[in-house]
Structure 1
């Protein structure tokens, strides 16, 4: 893997030195170029986004990474394949996304904690299951409340629509069980064409969720031997706390907790504090 620094910049308070941010790219084993922000020194956390977000539109994760860096943690926030500054063509499946995770773990300096958000939780679980150098899993609101068969059918329809070139339809289907105002807001936005175009990156999410819901139900997750912290917000959606409890129970060293947050997003200060304790203690 190659690593080419593009720019460096410094964040502001609380500690400019601790939160200095180097933006660079790393090339995966398949030749994809992944852009990331690297901050801090010490034990590492790599943030794995769910469906949609990337660095330029995700200030919550950036702020959390700054807080962690100031606490003595190395953080890597990267744009997933096909998003933001990590453009990628062709079939963006789960195996290809896991190669990107492997590349950013290498950037982090070796074994690290993966912090997954939403469907990024399933990608993180699969990375640990595949034997990538994962020291722990901090998972925020993993959407694993549906049955394995239902999830597989949902994912297959998303892939079918992507393969047919119906990117708006694929996006609508991906979001069908989310609050309806989310889809309505996306479609009303001038960014809707770009949002729909980015659904090609969500093939990996759909495949990861298919695997994770089945693995959760059939006991396959018991082979994950690293500590797992399954978190939900103080205001969340039906089924999320139960899914977190099921996930924590499915692994040998799992914990389910509530952390300040709402509407599928965490509070950066609360999350930064909880992740620092998870990594450093």
Structure 2
């Protein structure tokens, strides 16, 4: 990251921008930094001024306690202030929940797009989220960052053998380094259900995208996001799953942001 802005609470937010055109801010999900969405930025930079950033507590950005979701919305407000006018937002996974909250908060954005924000569109999701929240809080309070990462990976459905392999990989240290931010994404996700009342307050067009190869519950939740927003559109990308290919997603986003 070669630039920085200061959020309302004084936290340093590191970011990069590339390309020319209308501004778009890309928001990463859990266990990721701005580098995660950089390949997508590269695909959009021929038509847009694309901003990628490290969310607070990650990469080169600072952090300020106690954490509040509103502070991450303030971070987006600070990034938008670096542009010439209204900005479009895109968020993947739990980053999509942050984008939707930002849009509902009245930030000067003209369009918002999300990819597979993992809300649970069924009652059992509340219990699952509550159990995860309790276990995650305990692990982080006790300094067991590795266990916190494992809890998250289990929540995503990663097989035990793959988690064991991840623990032995060079990337595990980096994952542990940002493990405390799992609590941030968990807070952004709320009780885990589609926040229909809050989404009803979004006044800008919303594009909710899911992959055709993703689990059915993710597609259902994504469709529910589109239906809960006053001006929402649901789109399915053929052949894609939660690890969406930037080359497949970029044209869909570009068309939506250019309307």
Q: What is the TM-score of this pair, normalised by structure 1?
A: 0.82
Asked if the contact 1:28–1:99 (Cα under 8 Å) also holds between the matched residues in 2, the reply is yes
Q: Which residue of 1 aligns with 2:17?
A: 38
Q: What is the number of residues matched between the two proteins?
A: 254
How far did 1:259 drift?
A: 2.0
Q: Which residue of 1 aligns with 2:31?
A: 52
Q: Which residue of 2 aligns with 1:137?
A: 112
Q: Which residue of 2 aligns with 1:242?
A: 220
Structure 2 CA distance for aligned equivalents of residues 261 and 29 of structure 1: 41
Query: Equivalent residues in 2 for 1:70-85 (5 A)?
Result: 70-71=46-47, 73-85=48-60
Q: Which residue of 2 aligns with 1:66?
A: 42
Could you report, residue by residue, the CA deviation over 1:15-39 in whole angstroms, capped at 9, with x for unpaired residues?
Answer: xxxxxxxx31111111111111112
Could you report, residue by residue, the CA deviation over 1:150-203 in whole angstroms, capped at 9, with x for unpaired residues?
Answer: 424423432333233222222222222223245334312123233123111122
Query: Equivalent residues in 2 for 1:210-229 (5 A)?
Result: 210=190, 213=193, 215-216=195-196, 219-229=197-207
1:203 to 183, 191, 201: 183
Query: Equivalent residues in 2 for 1:151-190 (5 A)?
Result: 151-181=129-159, 183-190=163-170
Question: CA 1:184–1:94 in 2, change beyond 3 Å: closer, same or farther?
Answer: farther
SS of the aligned residue for 1:262 comes to coil
Deviates more, 1:271-280 or 1:188-197: 188-197
Cα RMSD over matched residues? Answer: 2.2
Q: Which residue of 2 aligns with 1:12?
A: none
Structure 2 CA distance for aligned equivalents of residues 148 and 108 of structure 1: 38
Question: CA 1:80–1:157 in 2, change beyond 3 Å: closer, same or farther?
Answer: same
Q: What is the TM-score of this pair, normalised by structure 2?
A: 0.88
How far did 1:211 drift?
A: 5.4
Q: Gapped runs of 5+ residues in structure 1?
A: 1-5, 7-22
Asked if the contact 1:233–1:266 (Cα under 8 Å) also holds between the matched residues in 2, the reply is yes
Q: Gapped runs of 5+ residues in structure 2?
A: none
- Comparing both structures, which one devotes a greater share of its residues to strand? 1
